[in-house]
């Protein structure tokens, strides 16, 4: 199924390239979106995340030209734009798809890529604004293309960090490192336990064919460039400052509970405590989940996923009623009905849930989720299953 989707996307991209510019592209690259199994809003606290790449990606087909700029058609936006091939480009105040592309081009050139003029087509089947890192897949795909056209290799970690800077500077979104790391470093059949402080990934096999990853899009678009994400981030930073550490990662759950009075006594103290409690307890859940997944202890994995969701809903307050409804439907189906666990995934405020389900029950569960979501929320959910996919690559 997924191979077919990928082949279709690839063929369409090549056909569009031929239509727009004539001939076949000389270079084709792909970079995946991601789903985070657990470890939400922990990356910018130096904590642990546990994402995997999904079988949905951004493909770019390109050929060098003798022009002094780049011309790129985005099939998703149905728009063509010209891009400046310089390292020092002032980011535009308005953020749209061109911001990510121009950012990745400029940062790559600054990093030494000798990029010639080129024509390209961008085509993605990562749902936009669905919390599956469509933007990281775009940045990483462009950076991978720049390596190829510009005759350099940045190294995977360097490339991920560079793309994070693109997001900060050009998209004005102060994200952590999770999305760019997984889009760059992912390996087929592995989830990645990433220690965001040391930036050292541990690849953990996720191959049990009896368990599938089901992604359910609430079709509530999330928008993270607003004030909510930076507000959560600064709460955590403020809590860390009061507790005398540079990152919340450095506080154990016991130490946090022992220092509760100190936090609660500060301005906005109850809120700071709730936010910090989420970040610190989420690290514990993430490590437990990774250990449980290694030994196939699905009950523990599921319990951690639900606990993560509850904390994101109540302590971190980044869920929304539609997403809560999807998680409750899944929880209601339960282990006997084939659902191991379910939670919101990504930055929040809409987007998708991730559920681990028994493979032989995927169709049944999909039907129930769709029907009940429609009944309770009045919206259509879009659902697909995926296996852990490969990171950015040249095709
Ligand atoms: C967004 C950010 C990530 C991470 C998640 C929440 O996806 O880009 O860096 O903070 O939200 O876990």
The count of structural domains within the chain is 1
CA of 114 to the centre of ligand 1 (A): 31
pLDDT digits (tens, 9 = 90+) for 238-288: 999 999 999 999 999 999 999 999 999 999 999 999 999 999 999 999 999
Write out the DSSP string of 184-210.
Answer: HH--TTEEEEEETTTTEEEEEE---TT
What does the pLDDT average to over 150-157? Answer: 98
Mean pLDDT of 324-342: 98
Distance (Å, rounded) from C-alpha 33 to C-alpha 36? 10
Look at residue 289 and tell me if it is in a domain. no
> With a 6 A CB cut-off, is 232 part of the ligand 1 pocket?
no
Give domain status of residue 394, yes or no: no
Whether 234 is covered by a domain: the verdict is: no
Residue 310 a catalytic site member: no
Q: Is the pLDDT confidence value at 67 over 70?
A: yes
In ligand 1, the atom with minimum distance to the C-alpha of 347 is: 11
Q: Which domain holds residue 112?
A: 3-206
For residue 223, the model assigns a pLDDT of 67
Confidence at 93, pLDDT banded by 50, 70, 90:
very high
Residue 3 has pLDDT above 90, yes or no: no
What local confidence, expressed as pLDDT, does residue 224 receive? 62
% of residues, the chain, pLDDT over 70: 99
Beta carbon of 351 within 6 Å of any ligand 1 atom:
no
Question: Is residue 81 included in any domain, yes or no?
Answer: yes
| H-state helical runs in the chain | 2-21, 97-110, 134-150, 156-169, 178-185, 228-243, 253-258, 260-264, 269-294, 298-314, 321-333, 362-377
Q: How far is it, in rounded angstroms, from Cα 325 to Cα 321?
A: 6
Catalytic residue (choose from 43, 179, 283, 324): 179
Dmax over Cα atoms in the chain, in whole Å? 68
Average pLDDT of 158-169? Answer: 98
Q: Flag whether 389 is in a domain.
A: no
48 lines ligand 1 (CB under 6 A): no
Q: Flag whether pLDDT at 2 surpasses 80.
A: no
Specify if 240 maps to a domain.
no
pLDDT at 325 over 70: yes
Mutate to test the pocket of ligand 1, among 172, 178, 350, 351 (most ligand atoms within 8 A of CB): 178
Say if residue 222's pLDDT is above 80.
no
Let me know if residue 198 belongs to a domain: yes
Q: In angstroms, rounded to a whole number, what is the distance separating the alpha carbons of residues 335 and 368?
A: 14
CATH number at residue 50: 3.30.230.10
pLDDT tens by residue, 193-221: 999 999 999 999 999 999 999 999 999 98
E strand segments, 37-90? 48-49, 51-65, 69-74, 79-84
When pLDDT is cut at 50, 70 and 90, the band that residue 226 belongs to is confident
Cβ–ligand 1 distance for 182 under 6 Å, the answer no
Q: Is the CB of 175 under 6 A from ligand 1?
A: yes
Cα torsion at 49, 37, 10, 61 (round to 10°)?
-20
Ligand 1 in contact with 347 (CB < 6 A)? yes
Interval between CA 278 and ligand 1 midpoint (Å): 14
């Amino acid at each position: 199924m997924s191979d077919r989707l990928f082949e279709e996307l690839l063929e369409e991209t090549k056909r569009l390239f031929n239509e727009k510019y004539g001939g076949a592209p000389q270079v084709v690259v792909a970079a995946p979106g991601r789903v985070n199994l657990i470890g939400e809003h922990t990356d910018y606290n130096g904590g642990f995340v546990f994402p995997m790449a999904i079988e949905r990606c951004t493909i770019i087909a390109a050929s060098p030209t003798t022009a002094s700029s780049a011309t790129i058609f985005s099939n998703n936006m149905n728009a063509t734009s010209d891009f400046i091939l310089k390292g020092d480009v002032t980011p535009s105040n308005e953020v749209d798809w061109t911001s990510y592309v121009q950012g990745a081009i400029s940062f790559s050139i600054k990093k030494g890529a000798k990029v010639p003029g080129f024509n390209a087509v961008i085509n993605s089947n990562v749902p936009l604004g669905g919390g599956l890192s469509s933007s990281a897949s775009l940045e990483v795909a462009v950076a991978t293309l720049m390596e190829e056209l510009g005759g350099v290799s940045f190294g995977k970690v360097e490339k991920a960090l560079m793309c994070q800077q693109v997001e900060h500077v050009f998209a004005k979104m102060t994200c952590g490192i999770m999305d760019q790391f997984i889009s760059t470093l992912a390996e087929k059949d592995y989830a990645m336990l990433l220690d965001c402080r040391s930036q050292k990934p541990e690849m953990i096999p996720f191959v049990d064919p009896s368990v599938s990853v089901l992604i359910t899009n609430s079709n509530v678009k999330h928008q993270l460039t607003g004030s909510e994400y930076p507000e959560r981030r600064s709460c955590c930073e403020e809590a860390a400052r009061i507790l005398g550490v540079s990152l919340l990662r450095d506080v154990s759950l016991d130490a946090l509970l022992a220092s509760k009075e100190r936090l609660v006594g500060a301005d906005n103290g109850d809120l700071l405590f709730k936010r910090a409690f989420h970040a610190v307890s989420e690290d514990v859940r993430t490590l437990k989940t990774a250990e449980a997944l290694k030994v196939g202890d699905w009950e523990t994995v599921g319990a951690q996923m639900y606990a993560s969701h509850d904390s994101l809903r109540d302590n971190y307050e980044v869920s929304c009623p539609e997403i809560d409804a999807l998680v409750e439907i899944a929880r209601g189906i339960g282990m006997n009905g084939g659902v191991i666990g379910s939670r919101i995934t990504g930055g929040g405020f809409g987007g998708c849930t991730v559920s681990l389900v028994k493979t032989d029950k995927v169709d049944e569960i999909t039907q129930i989720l769709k029907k009940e979501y429609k009944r309770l929320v009045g919206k259509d959910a879009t659902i697909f299953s995926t296996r852990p996919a490969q990171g950015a690559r040249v095709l």
